[in-house]
Chains A and B, each alone.
Chain A
Amino acid sequence: MARLIRTEKEVEGRYTEQWVVVEEDAAIDQWPAGPRETVGRPVPRVDGYERARGQALFTADVALPGMLHAAVLRSPYARARVRRLDLSRAREADWVLGAIGPDDCDALTLEPGFHGEPVAAVAVDSPGRAREALELIDVDWEELEPLLDPEEAVRRNELHEEPRRYERGDADAAFADADVVVEAEYRTQTVLHNPLETHQSVCRWEGDTLEVYISTQFIWGVRDDIAESLDLPPDRIRVICNFMGGGFGAKNGAHAQTFIAIALASQTGRPVRCALSRREENLATGNRNSTIQRLRAGARSDGTLVALEGEFVNAVGWKGWSGPTYGPMEMLYACENVRTLTYGAKLNLPPNAAFRAPGFVEGTFGLECLLDELAGRLELDPLELRARNHADRDLADDRPYSSKNLLECYRRAEPHWARRDAVRARSEGPWRRGVGLASQIWYGGGGPPSYAWVRIGSDGRATVITAMQDIGTGTRTAMAQIAAEELGLPLDRVRVSLGDSSRGPYASISAGSSTTPSMGPAVRAAAADAARQVIEIAAQRYHLEERLLTMQGGKVVSSDGGSWPLEEVTGLLEDAQILGKGARGPNPTGMRVLTFGIQVADVAVDVETGEVRVERIAAIHDVGRVINPLGAQSQVEGGIIQGVGHTLSEERLVDPASGIVLTQSLDAYKLPTIADVPEIVVELLDIPDEHLTNLGSKGLGEPPIVPTAAAIVNAIRDATGADVRSLPVSRDEMLRALREARERERAAAPA
């Protein structure tokens, strides 16, 4: 029976209440902890060969008959007004087949608020000539003074929303009573997602149905965005994304390129591709915005945190949202008195977008560096300081955790942490070595609504069908493993069909570390429903007792001895098929579902040149049950490598006078290469969350990037005594921090 329930939905820390239909009538018990037949065992990706051989069809490879190619005229100014936009020369040129301005498409504007905002677009039939056609658009620009300084925006009250204020307890009184108070200002830079497949869409009208091929993290979100913006019935929009070349949070909606392609497809009657160049990607598709964090911590001399205070300025850009930079301060420790104030500055800079644990990466850097500065003042071991302030329940919401094994993570971190004397002893010449750590908290519980079907054919093979997307995280493989486990089938007899809103049920977004915890339980429920039907059929055909039957090893097995190959049972159906349906049940009521962990970094710092090398990172995370340890390891490594880039090399630079983005190419914007990778040690606790659905798995994509920057910077302090307070740790910043440390030492020395 369909059950209608009202439940809480969380994506990247934003909670909403919503109605969902849950068909999960018979509760399915979680599997016991530990590796099963397929789940919990390392498995190479089921689509690995297609991807490795270049056979996987990405949106970048979609070529439809008669397809046109769009180019977008973007504002060369951070703030401007278009006095006159004249498309007539473009419209008159016989080789230009479409030309649109703000009158034709809401994604275009005559009042651009950032460098790169789309103003007009054209379509031609040769990809090479699309940009050339932009020269036929006549524009009179009036350049306006941009607002670029986030502090100035706060002073002028140029904000995206009212400042967010939070307080629990009495921070002022607690600071007054504290034995030790430390305070510092931390800054984080703007970083760019840079998925290797840029934002792109191919749109075509098929009768009254709009087909949208798009590189996206959320097929259904694209459908909703389009339906809402263009006032179309959602079922007349088909969204397709079979293979996808990375997103990291930047591809959660339809985005401007889709609306431009739709408008040009409507105008020309032809399919239109709108694909961003790398430089456009680095202007206009989002970023992790820079932050300023003024933080204060008060503690008793035994290390008990009594008060925390933070003022956060998120430099959001022209559009976007003010992320939860305050989150770690409010959630990570058992501190009774916490006060935060957060501003989302509206600036003439490209909009932000969610980027792998938005807000928490930035906020953890500040908070966890401050904790180490506090440990230094208290002369307390940093790991011990964290353990003493462990939160047994969530103080921000006053709720118990569904599961939390952070102390076990700390315990497993001890051997890595204990290496620090040996690491320091390897300092030689100008190279000083040290070890640092940082703790991690983030969401990752997923939630409903998410649905899946499992189809079993007469050949005894199963197909998981759901309109989700695999953004490269390996969800196709994880879903195949879950279905194979439930059906007692070898993995090579399970396929996964996804990526098409017209060919599968509603599925969740691939963001917020939610894909496995959202989709996995639905897939398992669908497989269980299909298995139940197989057993019912077998019982009738062979006159058996249903309660004695299970599916194992590709057979229907009776506990009193007999067994029948699955294809023999399903073969009775000839061409017909069995269809199981499954839905994701609700999250546990009244509990906080979160992920936890700790990372320990070894670094080497050349105190003469300011060069920093990360030599080793040990990552210990508690993310519930692990479905595929091989893919999980790769996810953790990938998160850490992005974290290393964020800490040491990546920075979007903007000309401070004009607001022009300077780092548009991959030459100017420094991504980590294979030569920059430290030794990485991954340990996942793999303890199922007993309260979390039929699976006990949480998400894994984001936790590993959360503590990396703080662990590295704390290791730098351990190695050199220098307090780095700004990311990236450029040589300038490193040398500044070293100078400051020397001056401090000199001032403290007896005259």
Chain B
Amino acid sequence: MLELVVNGGRYEVEAPIGQTLAETLRGPLGLTGTKIACGEGHCGACTVQLDGVPVLSCITLVHTVGEREVTTIEGLRDHPLVDAFVRADALQCGFCTPGQIVSAAALVEADPEPTPERIRHAMAGNLCRCGTYPRIEEALLTWRD
């Protein structure tokens, strides 16, 4: 049995050695908001926070998480960024969006008023094939309005 702290709750899960955090979240914990789009750390769709730091959960082994608190999109559902993304239409198919919002939440925590340059730097690891990048930038520039 493995103990995980996820979105403020403490959970016991069974996870074979070698299982990724993404698989554990999506499988036994049923937190399917975290998406797996490449499975090898190249696209950012699986982004979650560990103690507030964005990490790629598809290449994070669940047994390495330890006591660090996991925050997934389910833990950010009332974050003002959700509203900002919807208002700015910063999503099309929405498959990358949870990962985008988790990354963006870490960014605005560190810098509540990020410049376009900072946004482009911090968000460059989250791919969006629909191409909503201009809207994402807009959401991050207006999220406190």
Contact = CB atoms under 8 A, between A and B. Distances in A.
Determine if chain A interacts with chain B. Answer: yes
Interface of A: 44-45, 47-58, 60-61, 127-128, 193-198, 243-246, 248, 277-278, 471-474, 630-631, 633-635, 637-642, 665-667, 671-675, 677, 680
A674 B130 contact: no
A48 to B, nearest CB: 4
Interface of B: 16, 18-19, 23, 26-27, 31-40, 42-43, 45, 72-74, 77, 82, 85-87, 89, 91-98, 101, 119-121, 123-137
B132 to A, nearest CB: 6
Contact of B91 (A45, A55, A640, A673): A45
Contact of B82 (A52, A57, A248): A52
A635 B133 CA distance: 11
B22 to A, nearest CB: 11
Contacts of A54: 31-35, 72-74, 77, 97-98
Given A52-B101, A54-B32, A638-B131, A245 B94 contact: yes
Given A48-B85, A52-B101, A278-B40, A675 B121 contact: yes
Given A197-B95, A673-B123, 4 more contacts: A196-B128, A634-B132, A638-B92, A640-B131
Given A54-B74, A672-B131, A472 B19 contact: no
A639 B92 CA distance: 12
24 contacts: A49-B86, A51-B93, A52-B85, A53-B33, A53-B74, A53-B77, A54-B33, A61-B32, A127-B23, A194-B129, A243-B94, A245-B35, A278-B40, A630-B89, A635-B92, A637-B131, A665-B40, A665-B42, A666-B38, A667-B42, A671-B129, A673-B123, A673-B124, A675-B120
Given A49-B86, A54-B34, A667-B42, A472 B121 contact: no
A53 B137 CA distance: 18
- Of listed A45, A196, A637, A671, residue having the most chain B CB within 10 A: A196
A198 to B, nearest CB: 7
Nearest to A282: B38
Contacts of B82: 49, 52-53
Contacts of A194: 129
Contacts of A128: 16, 18-19, 23
Given A196-B37, A637-B135, A673 B86 contact: no
A634 B43 CA distance: 21
A641 B93 CA distance: 15
Nearest to A126: B16
B117 to A, nearest CB: 9
Contacts of A633: 89
Contacts of B89: 44-45, 48, 630-631, 633-634
A243 B95 CA distance: 9
Contacts of A48: 85-86, 89, 91
Contacts of A45: 86, 89, 91
B135 A674 contact: no
Contacts of A61: 26, 32
